[in-house]
Amino acid sequence: MKPYLFLLIILLFAGFTHAQQLPARWDELVASDFQQALEKSSKTCILPIGILEKHGPHSPLGTDLIHVREWAAHAVKSEYAVVFPDYFYGQINEARHQPGTFALPSKVIWELLEATCDEIARNGFDKIVILNGHGGNPEFIRFFMQSLLNKRHNYAVYFYAPQNDKAFTDQYLKMHKSDPKNDQHAGEGETSTLMYYRPDLMRMDRAADQSGDNQHRLNLPNVYTPIWWYAAYPNHYAGEGAKATTELGKFTAEHEIESFVNALKAIKADTSTLKLQNEFYDKVDNLNK
């Protein structure tokens, strides 16, 4: 066999093997591969939750959704898990005055999240990892998860809540240009991350078209009111997105991917959470017997 023909056969076989790699996205799997995906993932499914809302005048409405989608996609290249398709049903009532916001009633998002988790579990997964990209979701997610103890479930839900280490924080602040205290929504940090993941979607020439400054229109010490965010940031923009850089985005993204991969490995290896959860349910069921 001629050398060049042998090389061609090797390249074709390598391409075929690459094409046959098991997809991580649920919607890209074929049904006949689903059992293999369950086994390879240790019955672990990632549920990336974003939102549809204004992100300043420069970043896409689906910034939070795109962020967690890319974050999960990069992580599962190192540590396999099945990734649930786009999920953008969270708490976003505070942005209903802005075009493009998709805000469902509280009862609906609650029931939809539980039904989604139940259906993920019905398909064989017993570990569901919530990867959240929206700042208005954590309180809702934590309350939802605590409420799962109200009745028996045959799966465990894990909410990934990263804590940055000092080395990362110190370097991040060195690279950061704007005031970190006001860098919240569509500001330098979030914009930088999207510039790294999806630069094609950014409209950076518009980033300074609106103010992202805190307007300080309420002064109620030690008092919470749901209109607080609108009072502070009526443009639904908090920070200076114009100061974002791809370098900062790359630094942030690489750190968040590595950190999530480490957490994912621990979750896949975890045998205690479900055991303790079932022990708890058993004690509840036998309380008055």
Divide the 289 residues of the chain into consecutive groups of 10 and give the mean pLDDT of each group.
51 46 98 98 98 98 98 98 97 97 97 98 98 97 96 97 93 96 97 98 98 96 96 97 98 98 98 97 91
Partners of 46 in beta bridges: 83, 129
The two most distant CA atoms of the chain are separated, in Å, by 83
Considering the domain 23-268 in this protein, what is its CATH number? 3.40.50.10310
pLDDT at 76: 98
What separation in angstroms does the CA of 157 have from each of 37, 50, 68, 105, 256? 19, 17, 17, 23, 20
pLDDT at 168: 96
Helix (H, G, I), strand (E, B) or coil at 59: strand
pLDDT at 288: 80
d(CA 74, CA 276): 31
pLDDT at 4: 54
**Pairing of β 44-49 and β 156-159:** unpaired
Contacts of 192 (CB under 8 A, 6+ apart): 244, 245, 246, 247, 248, 249, 252
d(CA 88, CA 50): 5
| Of 123, 29, 161, the residue nearest 85 (C-alpha) | 29
d(CA 98, CA 253): 28
Contacts of 82 (CB under 8 A, 6+ apart): 24, 25, 26, 29, 37, 38, 41, 44, 45, 46, 125
Q: What is the pTM of this model?
A: 0.91
| Of 176, 281, 159, the residue nearest 239 (C-alpha) | 176
pLDDT at 106: 95
DSSP strands (E only) in the chain: 44-49, 82-83, 127-132, 156-159
| Of 187, 172, 182, the residue nearest 243 (C-alpha) | 187
Ranges of each domain in the chain: 23-268
d(CA 54, CA 183): 16
Asked if 211 and 235 touch (Cβ cutoff 8 Å), the reply is yes
Rg (CA), the chain: 22
pLDDT at 289: 78
